[in-house]
Structure 1
Amino acid sequence: MKDYEKYDGIGLHELIVKREVHPKELVESAIVKIEEHNPKLNAVINKMYEKAEQMVESLDKNSPLAGVPVLLKDVTQEIEGEKLTQGSQFLQNYRAKHDSEYVSRLRKTGVIFLGQTNVPEFALMGITEPKAYGPTRNPWNTNHTPGGSSGGSGAAVASGMVPIAGANDGGGSIRIPAAYCGLFGLKPTRGRTPVGPEHGRLWQGASSEHVLTKTVRDSALLLDFLQGPEKGAAFSIPSNENSYVAILNQPLPKKLRIAFSVKSPLGTDVHPACIKAVERTAEFLADQGFIVEEKDAPVDGKKLANSYLTMYFGEVAAALKKAEEWTGRKTSIKDVEPTTWVLGMLGKVTSAEEFVLSLQEWDLAAYRMEEFHETYDFYLTPTTAFPPAKIGELAPKGAEQLLIRMAGQLNLGKTLKKAGIVDQIAEKSLMRTPFTQLANLTGQPAMSVPLHLTADGLPIGAQFMAARGKEDLLFQLARLLEQSPLWVDMKENPYFSSKL
């Protein structure tokens, strides 16, 4: 199909409705793009072409996105009978026993699943460079990362393989790839989208399921169908009464207030380009009549970072235990990446007391942010503190790599904690992406919008947060920005121009 990659999901479906294209042609076009671009980008790690063709044969063409090609993320988005490796060599032979509720709801929209996308091992990093599959590369510049953990999904959408890809976000994993790949990415309110039936909560409620898209309307439409209470879920909120798609073109209420900050909550550096992205956005919105004020969030960023990592350690330890149940054998340091092993080891020496205290820190932050949003409708920050790193740049080097291996082999979890290594891990691992975790811990919705390019042509996102349940306001604001001159034009991307 000519110009397939230039359409969003709704646009492709409209062509089917008009009988200008057959769903089979869309699937064939997507396969051509995957086969053309994946060898260089390494975004797709499991292809499901035969199943996709079967889905086309049984397609209900009255479904809202009937025939639109989609990829799913290789974490939590189970497809019955397909692999679910979570980026780990240890799970290469595990196959999902049933569809996840997320996948079941997606099926009802009529989308066609073409495969699964690459992730860092157990979705633990803001880059996508698992040893099991190798690094995924950014379509805007293949020397750089597309981010993580939904990096494969980000690269797939940004290269035109598919208009929509499954993603989830436990610390920024939708918003970071959206920022680095020039896409739109919204993390919904805690409890808005399903996480079962294997889970009642993901990362204690920090993680939410949704998608990465080129356009705001695709994201809004998918949330219309993904949202809703789920039996057995630990967190649940009522469905939005009005369609998110329907409200996109409704004007925002007047005199909305926006607080913005360009300061890292960890007190670490922020790249000038990331600061500029926010300042340009704030200036534009002030010109549009919004009340814009520079104001930091009323939370302790360092305490929150440590409480986030306490959960992170515990979840890694639990993930390794779950992997043992799935495979029927014990894990060892040889089965997973050294960093994963050390994180799990830290989880095993983290006490129940520490874990509960960390969750209480989340609740305190949530209360303070809800009070904050009684004054401010939106909170604007950079999505990330730095532009996309180069492939391999953030991998442990030399002495650090040796320390990780020794700590894992000698089981030095307690020693590392006593030596204050956790604080160092918090700063090092989060200093490039210190802004995204807040919304995960408080349960608020947050989005990254593509509003800036660096001098060398790499995308940078601006992040907006709103009060819990206010995805409608975020979508309306995103639609306004999408129609503005700030929105990054995909034609600047080599995969959508003659530059490739």
Structure 2
Amino acid sequence: MNVDEYAGLDAVGVAALIRSGEVTAAEVEAVARRAIGAVNGDLNALTSPLFDPAPAADRSGPLAGVPFVVKDSGPFVRGMPFTLGSRAIRGAVAGTDHELMTRFRAAGLVALGQTTAPEWGLNFATESRRYGATRNPWDPHRGVGGSSGGAAALVAAGAVPFAHGNDGAGSLRVPASCCGLVGLKPGRGRTPSGPLAGEVGFGQVYEFGLTRTVRDCAALLDAVSGPVVGEKYAATPPARPFATAVRTDPGRLRVAVSTTAHTPVDRQVADAAVTAARLLEWIGHDVTEAAPAVAPDDVVEACLLTALSTGAAMLRAPARPNPDLLEAVSRVVLGETVSASLLDVAAGIDAQHRVTRAVGTFFTAHDLLVTPTMAQLPPSHGTLDYDAEGHTVRSWLRRIFEVGPFTAAFNVSGGPAISVPLAQSREGLPIGVQLVAAPGREDLLLQVAAQLEQAAPWRDRTPPIHADTRR
């Protein structure tokens, strides 16, 4: 196997070759290291040199030998340092595996490195002062989204078929849209939060990852989903494996489409969602225009809970961050967390409940919602300056929601949502379309995403910066 062959495979394809004996896991790892090295100089997507050796993984797992990378979003891999993209964190090392990493190991996935993220994950741009801007493989003058931006860049560039990430307001779906990937935010309780947390961001932050194909997304969800004893949330187990569900027809669905937001939406972006809805109508679904009756201010107020929980994490850290080393918005988050009252938290929880009820009511009359993932094409570097003075936490949330107004409501409400790379702009940039379903219906999202992938394939689209030198 050479780098060009490897870069064209998804995770399921790599695992199948290893199982067949056509290639060994060691050979795949060596090729993956070369592929990462071939593109990272252009992308700036890693926080540090690759792990050497890679953490041990179960060689009998269903995805044994498949390489991936983990996001620098906190203690995740036992014995490995982490920084959360901050100059204020030095010498922090994970004392244990995150439960999701334990499941990645059991599946046989091989972690090769750690990817960039914005400071404390509170941005839709991966441009921290500590690591600099991560560049988009489709256009290096544009960003990769955030906060799982380094992860998205490496998957899109063919360096790894899968990357770990998490999503607190759109942090998987926004990078998926910017980089032309499949980005699933699972529903609340579908993937684990422990062992160091029972919930993150008042239950509004979700762990999973980014892939290039829907079948990879389904296979990985099968490998890592399921309840953990003692965790606060547990999703209803699926009736059948997600990898099986993705190959089945979901039947005729009641599909709603909406392209409007409280902020202007780029015409090309809106047209991509409308085209997706027309495709679903052509497939045989019933399509109407509708959207949940969610107030944008309620989404901001509920997402304030995630920001305050981030500030609380700073305050509880073994060595409290030096404010002089934090970027401007992080300093504001820290200050507002210190001054927040129980009434502030109660107001956020009340807003969370209003959003959850509105979305829940919507899904009594509809099976699926189609929206753009973002309001814009991938923004140029510097569009979302996290180190800009003068923001409050609320004004910062409103600023990032001008770029991504469609995603955060579903972090708040707790149901699953997925971004799929259905379209490209006139400039050749990827455009994501978001699909949303009721709680517990990841299977439905994956089924419909697979229908769209078959009707309008995206797998052969590759960016100019790519490990496959033939493209």
TM range (shorter): over 0.9
Aligned with residue 347 of structure 1, among 324, 337, 343: 337
2:264 counterpart letter in structure 1: D
Instruction: Kindly provide the CA deviation profile for residues 315-363 of structure 1, in whole angstroms up to 9, marking residues without a partner as x.
Output: 232121123x2x3xx4332121122101221222222112112112212
Of Structure 1 and Structure 2, the greater helix share is in 1
Of residues 361-370 and 120-129 in structure 1, the stretch that sits farther from structure 2 once superposed is 361-370
Contact 1:260 1:294 in 2 (8 A): yes
Instruction: Kindly provide the CA deviation profile for residues 221-244 of structure 1, in whole angstroms up to 9, marking residues without a partner as x.
Output: 111121111123221223223100
Q: Which residue of 2 aligns with 1:251?
A: 249
Q: Which residue of 1 aligns with 2:313?
A: 319
- Could you tell me how far apart the structure 2 residues matched to 1:35 and 1:439 are? 36
**Pairs within 5 Å for 1:58-457:** 60-76=58-74, 78-254=76-252, 256-264=253-261, 267-308=262-303, 310-323=304-317, 325=318, 327=319, 330-395=320-385, 401-403=388-390, 424-457=395-428
Q: Which residue of 1 aligns with 2:452?
A: 481
2:203 counterpart letter in structure 1: G
Contact 1:175 1:187 in 2 (8 A): yes
- Could you tell me how far apart the structure 2 residues matched to 1:133 and 1:61 are? 34
Instruction: Kindly provide the CA deviation profile for residues 38-79 of structure 1, in whole angstroms up to 9, marking residues without a partner as x.
Output: 111011213344222x73xxx654320111111011114611
Aligned-partner SS, 2:325: coil
Shift of the alpha carbon at 1:488? 6.2
1:40 counterpart letter in structure 2: D
Two-structure CA RMSD over aligned residues (Å) = 1.9
Shift of the alpha carbon at 1:382? 0.5
- Could you tell me how far apart the structure 1 residues matched to 2:356 and 2:143 are? 31
Q: Which residue of 1 aligns with 2:36?
A: 34
- Could you tell me how far apart the structure 1 residues matched to 2:254 and 2:233 are? 29
Check 1:387–1:293 CA distance in 2 against 1; reply closer, same or farther (3 A cut): same
Contact 1:450 1:488 in 2 (8 A): no
1:147 counterpart letter in structure 2: G
- Could you tell me how far apart the structure 1 residues matched to 2:126 and 2:115 are? 10
Check 1:46–1:422 CA distance in 2 against 1; reply closer, same or farther (3 A cut): closer
Contact 1:481 1:487 in 2 (8 A): no
- Could you tell me how far apart the structure 2 residues matched to 1:425 and 1:87 are? 18
Shift of the alpha carbon at 1:270? 0.7
Check 1:47–1:238 CA distance in 2 against 1; reply closer, same or farther (3 A cut): farther
Q: Is 2:451 the counterpart of 1:461?
A: no
Aligned-partner SS, 1:144: coil
Aligned with residue 47 of structure 1, among 38, 49, 52: 49
2:289 counterpart letter in structure 1: E
Who wins on radius of gyration, i.e. which is larger?
A: 1
Aligned-partner SS, 1:176: helix
Contact 1:453 1:488 in 2 (8 A): no
- Could you tell me how far apart the structure 2 residues matched to 1:8 and 1:486 are? 14
- Could you tell me how far apart the structure 2 residues matched to 1:403 and 1:377 are? 42
Q: Which residue of 2 aligns with 1:418?
A: none
Aligned-partner SS, 2:190: coil
- Could you tell me how far apart the structure 2 residues matched to 1:222 and 1:467 are? 21
Shift of the alpha carbon at 1:314? 1.2
Shift of the alpha carbon at 1:387? 0.8
- Could you tell me how far apart the structure 1 residues matched to 2:110 and 2:394 are? 44
Of residues 460-469 and 299-308 in structure 1, the stretch that sits farther from structure 2 once superposed is 299-308
Shift of the alpha carbon at 1:432? 0.6
2:309 counterpart letter in structure 1: E
Percent identity over the alignment is: 35
- Could you tell me how far apart the structure 2 residues matched to 1:423 and 1:377 are? 32
Aligned-partner SS, 1:390: coil
- Could you tell me how far apart the structure 2 residues matched to 1:493 and 1:477 are? 29
Instruction: Kindly provide the CA deviation profile for residues 350-381 of structure 1, in whole angstroms up to 9, marking residues without a partner as x.
Output: 22112112112212221222221121100111
2:434 counterpart letter in structure 1: Q
Q: Which residue of 2 aligns with 1:11?
A: 13
Aligned-partner SS, 1:379: strand
Contact 1:48 1:113 in 2 (8 A): no
Instruction: Kindly provide the CA deviation profile for residues 392-443 of structure 1, in whole angstroms up to 9, marking residues without a partner as x.
Output: 232269xxx4546xxxxxxxxxxxxxxxx56543432211111100110000
Check 1:448–1:207 CA distance in 2 against 1; reply closer, same or farther (3 A cut): same
Instruction: Kindly provide the CA deviation profile for residues 427-461 of structure 1, in whole angstroms up to 9, marking residues without a partner as x.
Output: 32211111100110000100001011111111110
Q: Which residue of 1 aligns with 2:22?
A: 20
2:224 counterpart letter in structure 1: L
- Could you tell me how far apart the structure 2 residues matched to 1:4 and 1:240 are? 32
Contact 2:384 2:400 in 1 (8 A): no
Structure 2 spans left out of the alignment, 5+ residues: none
1:432 counterpart letter in structure 2: V
Aligned-partner SS, 1:90: coil
Shift of the alpha carbon at 1:494? 4.5
Aligned-partner SS, 1:311: helix
Aligned-partner SS, 2:32: helix
Aligned-partner SS, 2:364: helix
- Could you tell me how far apart the structure 1 residues matched to 2:233 and 2:379 are? 35
Of residues 197-206 and 232-241 in structure 1, the stretch that sits farther from structure 2 once superposed is 232-241
Q: Which residue of 2 aligns with 1:410?
A: none
1:170 counterpart letter in structure 2: G
Bigger relative contact order, structure 1 or 2 (CA pairs below 8 A, ≥6 apart): 2
Contact 2:125 2:149 in 1 (8 A): yes
Check 1:396–1:446 CA distance in 2 against 1; reply closer, same or farther (3 A cut): closer
- Could you tell me how far apart the structure 1 residues matched to 2:324 and 2:38 are? 34
Contact 1:362 1:442 in 2 (8 A): yes
Aligned-partner SS, 1:306: helix
- Could you tell me how far apart the structure 2 residues matched to 1:121 and 1:425 are? 14
Check 1:396–1:166 CA distance in 2 against 1; reply closer, same or farther (3 A cut): closer
- Could you tell me how far apart the structure 1 residues matched to 2:302 and 2:232 are? 20
